[in-house]
């Protein structure tokens, strides 16, 4: 089986994980780089000397015109995602885009429609969809073992404000938002993915903590069927990272927590039912995001993180920002277009 020829748009620190992931899958050949910053490109090549001879370009369009590609990764500041992804789709290229897919609902919908029309795979890099603990929770909910779903609380925290000070992540023109739009986007996706029902209304509070972007966010989300959700995003955490999920049903309870000493590993999940607590020791592993992307491109598997996921996160994020700005509940079930306007 021939490898897929990939161009990488963006060579910042987050791009390193893509290189390792594609290398581990054995299904990709990185043949071109696009990075406007000579300093970032130099640091990238220093971290990954095996890519030292890969041709580099100052823009995505220059790379698209000069190199024959099958696919691209997009690892740029958030507000740049939309034009780059659309340009790739128009050239018939498959895309793996970092989260969030876009900062605007209309842009996310445009990408989803264009990808379907062009017959290309656009995947959003929401890694937790491939995490065995999160997959375990979703399977328990979907199977009905939890009974009737009642409430879900998702919380994440990071030393984000301090760690991103002076970077593009706190520049609204490039980031599109703060902690909620950045790391919090992963947990917004998990809230939506685990519940798997339409959002009816959102009521939120946002604190910028002296930053030009949001730092701390608390949102109450009502889903169809009366399920209550709580999303809490803490951007001025005193430690590196924390992440918890609690899902309550009529017949059981799911709890998930990341070990603060090992924040980037799969966390501990327990399932409580009938006065018994089960902690699975051998969680079933699925494909990585890069393996799943390759499978979807080859028609050997579904797109497990499609553009529709990016659309739903964009809708929820927009509703949270509007609710906090206007000090009132935003309803998505009766007047979505008005609710999600800027």
pLDDT of residue 262: 72
**3-class SS at 51?**
helix
**3-class SS at 261?**
coil
For residues 249 and 147, give the distance between their C-alpha atoms in angstroms, rounded to a whole number: 5
| pLDDT band, very low/low/confident/very high, at 120 (cuts 50, 70, 90) | very high
The pLDDT tens digits of the residues spanning 152-198 come to: 999 999 999 999 999 999 999 999 999 999 999 999 999 999 999 99
pLDDT of residue 335: 53
For residues 197 and 114, give the distance between their C-alpha atoms in angstroms, rounded to a whole number: 24
Cα dihedral 115, 120, 126, 130 sign = positive
Task: Parse the chain into domains and list their residue ranges.
Answer: 4-127+290-301, 128-286+316-336
**Structural contact between residues 54 and 76, judged by C-beta atoms closer than 8 angstroms:** no
Q: Where are the alpha helices (DSSP H) in 165-288?
A: 172-175, 183-195
- Among candidate residues 76, 85, 91, 92, the one with its CA nearest the CA of residue 123: 85
User: Contacts from 164-167 at CB under 8 Å and sequence distance 24+?
Assistant: none
| pLDDT band, very low/low/confident/very high, at 342 (cuts 50, 70, 90) | very low
Number of C-beta neighbours around residue 230 at 10 A: 15
**3-class SS at 34?**
strand
Q: Which fold has domain 4-127+290-301?
A: Rossmann fold (3.40.50)
The token pair that represents 195 in the structure block: 């519940």
Question: What's the start-to-end Cα distance of the chain, in Å?
Answer: 46
pTM of the model: 0.95
The pLDDT tens digits of the residues spanning 14-46 come to: 999 999 999 999 999 999 999 999 999 999 999
The pLDDT tens digits of the residues spanning 212-271 come to: 999 999 999 999 999 999 999 999 999 999 999 999 999 999 999 998 777 777 889 999
Number of C-beta neighbours around residue 114 at 10 A: 17
pLDDT of residue 337: 47
Give mean pLDDT, residues 311-323: 98
For residues 233 and 189, give the distance between their C-alpha atoms in angstroms, rounded to a whole number: 13
The pLDDT tens digits of the residues spanning 281-298 come to: 788 888 999 999 999 999
**Structural contact between residues 102 and 310, judged by C-beta atoms closer than 8 angstroms:** yes
pLDDT of residue 339: 41
DSSP letters, 76-118, are S-GGGHHHHHHHHHHTT-EEEEESSS-SSHHHHHHHHHHHHHH
Residue 91 in this model has a pLDDT that exceeds 60: yes
Rounded to the nearest integer, the mean pLDDT of the chain is 95
CA 268 from chain center: how many Å?
A: 21
- DSSP run (H or E) holding 337: helix 336-339
Measured torsion, CA atoms of residues 124, 129, 130, 134, in degrees rounded to the nearest 10 = 160
26: left (phi over 0), alpha (psi -120 to 50) or beta: left
149-158 and 241-249 beta bridge pairing: antiparallel
- Taking the CA atoms of the chain, what radius of gyration do you get in angstroms? 20
Provide the CB-side half-sphere exposure for 19 (13 A, CA).
22
- Among candidate residues 179, 252, 248, the one with its CA nearest the CA of residue 216: 179
The token pair that represents 86 in the structure block: 């659309």
43-68 burial: b if 16+ Cβ within 10 Å, else e: bbbeebeebeebebbeebbebbeebe
Please state which CATH number belongs to domain 128-286+316-336: 3.30.360.10
Main-chain phi, psi angles of 73, to 5 degrees: -105, 145
Residue 340 in this model has a pLDDT that exceeds 60: no
């Amino acid at each position: 089986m021939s490898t897929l020829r990939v161009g990488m748009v963006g060579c910042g620190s987050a791009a390193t994980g893509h290189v390792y992931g594609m290398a581990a899958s054995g299904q990709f050949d990185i043949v071109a780089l696009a990075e406007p910053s000579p300093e970032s490109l130099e640091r990238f090549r220093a971290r990954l000397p095996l890519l030292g001879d890969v041709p580099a370009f100052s823009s995505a369009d220059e790379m698209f015109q000069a190199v024959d590609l099958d696919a691209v990764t997009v690892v740029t500041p958030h507000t740049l995602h939309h034009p780059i992804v659309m340009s790739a789709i128009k050239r018939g290229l498959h895309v793996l885009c970092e989260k969030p897919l876009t900062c605007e609902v209309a842009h996310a919908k445009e990408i989803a429609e264009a990808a379907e029309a062009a017959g290309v795979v656009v995947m959003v890099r929401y890694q937790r969809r491939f995490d065995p603990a999160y997959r375990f929770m979703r399977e328990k909910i979907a199977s009905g073992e939890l009974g009737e779903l009642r409430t879900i609380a998702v919380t994440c925290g990071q030393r984000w404000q301090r760690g991103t000070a002076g970077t593009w992540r706190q520049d609204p023109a490039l980031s599109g938002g703060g902690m909620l739009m950045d790391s919090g986007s992963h947990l917004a996706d998990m809230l939506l993915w685990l519940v798997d029902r339409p959002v009816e209304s959102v009521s939120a509070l946002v604190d910028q903590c002296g930053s030009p972007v949001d730092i701390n966010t608390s949102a109450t989300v009502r889903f169809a069927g009366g399920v209550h959700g709580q999303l809490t995003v803490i951007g001025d955490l005193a430690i590196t990272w924390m992440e918890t999920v609690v899902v309550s049903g009529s017949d059981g309870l799911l709890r998930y927590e990341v070990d603060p000493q090992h924040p980037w590993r799969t966390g501990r999940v327990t399932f409580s039912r009938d006065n018994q607590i089960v902690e699975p020791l051998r969680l079933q592993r699925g494909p990585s995001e890069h393996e799943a992307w390759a499978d979807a491109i080859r028609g050997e598997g579904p797109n497990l993180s499609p553009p529709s996921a990016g659309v739903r996160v964009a809708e929820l994020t927009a509703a949270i920002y509007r609710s906090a700005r206007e000090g009132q509940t935003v309803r998505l079930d009766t007047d979505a277009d008005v609710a999600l306007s800027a």
